[in-house]
Structure 1
Amino acid sequence: MSAQAHELHEVDGVGAADTTQPRSRLELIDWNEPEVPEGLTDAEYDEVLHRLSVASVERHFDAFADIDWDHPDFEVRADDPRWVLPDVDPVGRHPWYKALPLEEQIRVGQWRYANIFKVGLQFENILIRGIMQYVFTAENGSKEYRYLTHEATEECHHTQMFQEGVNRMGVDAPGMPRWLRAVAWALPLAASKVPLAFFIGVLAGEEPIDHTQKALLREGVEVHPMIKRIMQIHVAEEARHISFAHEYVKRNAPRVGPVDRFLVSLAFPVIMRVLGDAILVPVKEFQQEFAIPDEVIDELFWESAESKEFLSELFSDVRMLAEESGLMTRLSRRVWRALGIDGRPSRYRSEPAVKFA
Structure 2
Amino acid sequence: MASSPVRPETQDRLHEHVVAQRLLDSAATLSYDPATEVDWETPLDKNFHGASPEWSTLYGTAYWGELTEAQRKELTRHEAASVASTGIWFEMILQQMVLRDIYAKDPTDAEFQWALTEVAEECRHSIMFARGAQKLGAPAYRPHRFAIELGRAFKTVAFGEAAYAAILVAEEVLDVMQRDWMRDDRVVPFVRTINNIHVVEESRHMKFARDETLKRLKKVGWVRRQIHAFVIAIASYVIVTSMVNRGVYANAGLDRKRALGEARANEHHKSMMRSSCSGLMDFLASARLLTKPALIFYKRANLI
Considering the TM-score relative to the shorter chain, is it more than 0.5?
yes
Identify which of 77, 86, 89 aligns with 2:56: 89
- Answer whether contact 2:56 2:269 (CA < 8 A) is retained: no
Partner of 2:227: 263
Identify which of 152, 171, 174 aligns with 2:141: 174
Partner of 1:325: 287
Residues 336 and 89 of structure 1: CA distance in aligned 2, closer, same or farther (over 3 Å): same
Whether 1:54 and 2:25 are equivalent positions in the alignment is yes
Instruction: Write out aligned runs for 1:178-327 (5 A).
Output: 178-191=145-158, 194-218=159-183, 220-279=184-243, 282-289=244-251, 290-294=253-257, 296-301=259-264, 303-327=265-289
Q: Which runs of 5+ in 2 are unaligned?
A: 1-10
Q: Which runs of 5+ in 1 are unaligned?
A: 1-39, 344-357
Deviations 1:123-154 (A, max 9, x none): 11221122222211324543321111110011
How well do the aligned residues superpose, as a CA RMSD in angstroms? Answer: 2.5
Residues 264 and 183 of structure 1: CA distance in aligned 2, closer, same or farther (over 3 Å): closer
Secondary structure, in 3 states, of the residue corresponding to 1:283?
Answer: coil
Secondary structure, in 3 states, of the residue corresponding to 2:237?
Answer: helix
- Answer whether contact 2:52 2:181 (CA < 8 A) is retained: no
Identify which of 84, 94, 100 aligns with 1:127: 94
Report the AA paired with residue 14 of structure 2.
A
- Deviation for aligned residue 1:291: 4.1
- Answer whether contact 2:85 2:140 (CA < 8 A) is retained: yes
Residues 214 and 137 of structure 1: CA distance in aligned 2, closer, same or farther (over 3 Å): same
Deviations 1:56-92 (A, max 9, x none): 111111121222322x4xx214x42445852233334
Which has the bigger relative contact order, CA under 8 A and spacing at least 6? 2
Q: Distance in 1 between matches of 2:141 and 2:77?
A: 13
Report the AA paired with residue 255 of structure 2.
I
TM-score by length of 1: 0.73
Q: Distance in 2 between matches of 1:237 and 1:304?
A: 32
Q: Distance in 2 between matches of 1:311 and 1:102?
A: 24
Instruction: Write out aligned runs for 1:112-123 (5 A).
Output: 112-123=79-90
Partner of 2:119: 152
Residues 224 and 342 of structure 1: CA distance in aligned 2, closer, same or farther (over 3 Å): closer
Q: Structure 1 residues 110-119 or 284-293, which shifts more?
A: 284-293
Q: Report % sequence identity.
A: 19
Report the AA paired with residue 216 of structure 1.
W
Report the AA paired with residue 133 of structure 2.
V
Secondary structure, in 3 states, of the residue corresponding to 1:284?
Answer: coil
Q: Distance in 1 between matches of 2:209 and 2:245?
A: 28
- Answer whether contact 1:250 1:321 (CA < 8 A) is retained: no
Q: Distance in 1 between matches of 2:31 and 2:94?
A: 18
Residues 266 and 180 of structure 1: CA distance in aligned 2, closer, same or farther (over 3 Å): closer
Q: Distance in 1 between matches of 2:127 and 2:303?
A: 35
Q: Distance in 1 between matches of 2:242 and 2:98?
A: 21
Partner of 2:296: 335
- Answer whether contact 1:199 1:245 (CA < 8 A) is retained: yes
Q: Distance in 2 between matches of 1:132 and 1:263?
A: 23
Report the AA paired with residue 260 of structure 2.
I
Identify which of 34, 40, 43 aligns with 1:69: 40
Greater helix share, structure number:
2
TM-score by length of 2: 0.85
- Deviation for aligned residue 1:340: 5.9
- Answer whether contact 1:213 1:231 (CA < 8 A) is retained: yes
Report the AA paired with residue 187 of structure 1.
F
Report the AA paired with residue 314 of structure 1.
S
Q: Distance in 2 between matches of 1:322 and 1:264?
A: 12
- Deviation for aligned residue 1:106: 3.1
- Deviation for aligned residue 1:298: 3.8
- Deviation for aligned residue 1:177: 2.3
Secondary structure, in 3 states, of the residue corresponding to 2:37?
Answer: coil
Report the AA paired with residue 76 of structure 1.
L
